[in-house]
Amino acid sequence: MIKSNFTQHKPIAIWLYSGVFMIIVQVLLGGITRLTGSGLSITEWKPILGTLPPLTEHAWQEAFLKYQQIAQYKLLNNHFSLTDFKAIYFWEWFHRNWARFMGLAFIIPFVYFLFTKKIDNKMIKPMVILLLLGALQGLIGWIMVQSGLNNQDTSVSYFRLAIHFIAASVLLAYVLWFALTLSVPTKMNNYTPNLKRLNILLLILLFFQLMYGAFMAGSHAALAAKTWPDINGMWWPDGIFTQGGFIHDISHNFYTIQFIHRGLAYLLTFLTFYWSYLASKLPKKNSLYKWRYIPSVVIVIQVIIGVFTLLNSEFKGPIFYGVLHQFMGMLLVMILLITLFLNSKSKTAY
């Protein structure tokens, strides 16, 4: 019965895994858009008409003129030619169009599966939640962009950037978990309570680490200290936890933001190694045993990429390193979700 149920749900699982891939691409496009300073290039939100870029020279000049009215152009990019504008316009346009493509890639198969009765009644609620999470992500994205369309700011608020990134990560996690429930037989699950608790702790810490990664990227906090392993020659640098109250300091002080981001990386690495050690003690038939070293390998690579991103923060290298760093962060989220799923008690397919 289990085998037949999972065979029945295979097309839906493939569809959901395709959604996971598309979300990853969208987040990476968002990273490129941020690193190239392209996010404010399109000053209007046109869900339908915005699908096509300007098609005539006059239309391009109009779009460029609208961009020239905001602070990013006036204070930062007033040397831009139309060709420069077209370069940053492309990435924001691509980012928005990929979001539109994702919406169609969800709605069209959903309607097909619904009418062909491949979706059970119990699956409709999770599907609706998925749709709402996707719509919320789009709304957050536009609110974030709109926050930078003014005469004062040259970039979007890094708090809104963090919310946008975390919302995307939550959507990614939800779709992946849903896909796992439809594609991995419950007999493969191996419940190990101590490992599960540690796995949950790792995901909680990773949540805050991703948030501080967005703070680092959005505020350019890396420029405050471009050295490693020390911070401007100090292990406890001057200037941390010194600006206003505690909440203000951990969210606005660039030295503190970077200190916390580094500290969380070291803590996550240590605890991930400990998780791998505990998993290596499990019986070989346990599916978690097969995954025992994967999280540790990924987090070591992630830390190394993070160091390279920091050390090259004033050069063009971070566009590559930054996007790769973001990808490895998402990969770690997915791996820890998979290990958590495999460490769950038996349950129904969804």
Tell me: the pLDDT tens digits for 209-257? 999 999 998 888 888 888 888 888 888 888 788 777 888 888 888 899 9
The pLDDT value recorded for residue 80 is 92
Q: What is the pLDDT of residue 205?
A: 97
**What pLDDT does residue 265 have?**
96
* Cα separation, 29 vs 95, whole angstroms: 6
Among 99, 38, 103, which residue's Cα sits nearest to residue 67?
38
Poorest-pLDDT segment among 47-51, 133-137, 284-288: 47-51
Confidence of residue 127 (pLDDT cuts 50, 70, 90): confident
Q: Using one digit for the tens of pLDDT, what is the confidence trace for 298-346? A: 999 999 999 998 888 776 556 888 899 999 999 999 999 999 999 876 5
Q: How many CB atoms lie within 10 A of CB 331?
A: 17
pLDDT at 49: 66
10/212 Cα distance (integer angstroms): 37
Q: What phi-psi label fits residue 215: left (phi over 0), alpha (psi between -120 and 50 degrees) or beta?
A: alpha
DSSP 3-state of 112: helix
**Model confidence band, residue 57 (pLDDT cutoffs 50, 70, 90):** very high
Residue with the larger pLDDT of the pair 48 and 3: 48
Per mean pLDDT, which range of 15-19, 41-45, 119-123 is the poorest? 119-123
Q: Where are the domains of the chain?
A: 1-183, 186-350
Contact present, 88 and 72 (Cβ < 8 Å): no
Counting other chains too, the contacts that 11-16 makes at CB distance below 8 Å and 24 or more residues apart are 11/113, 11/118, 12/113, 12/118, 12/119, 12/123, 12/182, 13/179, 13/182, 13/183, 15/109, 15/113, 16/175, 16/176, 16/178, 16/179, 16/182
Would you state the pLDDT for residue 248?
86
Amino acid 188: pLDDT: 57
- Confirm if 208 and 201 have CB atoms less than 8 A apart: no
pLDDT in tens, 142-174: 888 888 888 887 888 888 889 999 999 999 999
Given pLDDT bands bounded at 50, 70 and 90, which one contains residue 40?
confident
pTM recorded for the entire structure:
0.89
Three-state SS sequence of 186-252: HHHCCCCHHHHHHHHHHHHHHHHHHHHHHHHHHHCHHHHCCCCCCECCECCCCCCCCCCCHHHHHHH
Phi and psi at residue 234, to the nearest 5°: -130, 150
What is the rounded distance in angstroms from the CA atom of residue 56 to the CA atom of residue 53? 9
pLDDT of residue 316: 58
How large is the average pLDDT for residues 80-91?
Answer: 93
Q: Half-sphere exposure of 328 toward its Cβ, with a 13 Å CA cutoff? A: 23
The rounded mean pLDDT for the chain is 87
Contacts of residue 221, defined as CB under 8 A and 6 or more positions apart, other chains included, come to 215, 254, 255, 257, 258, 261
What is the tens place of the pLDDT at every residue in 275-288? 999 999 988 888 88
β-partners of residue 48 are none
Q: Inform me whether the pLDDT recorded for 7 exceeds 70.
A: no
The encoded tokens of residue 270 equal: 């240590």
CB 323 within 8 Å of CB 329: no
Output the pLDDT for position 4: 43
- CA 136, 28, 264, 219 dihedral sign is negative
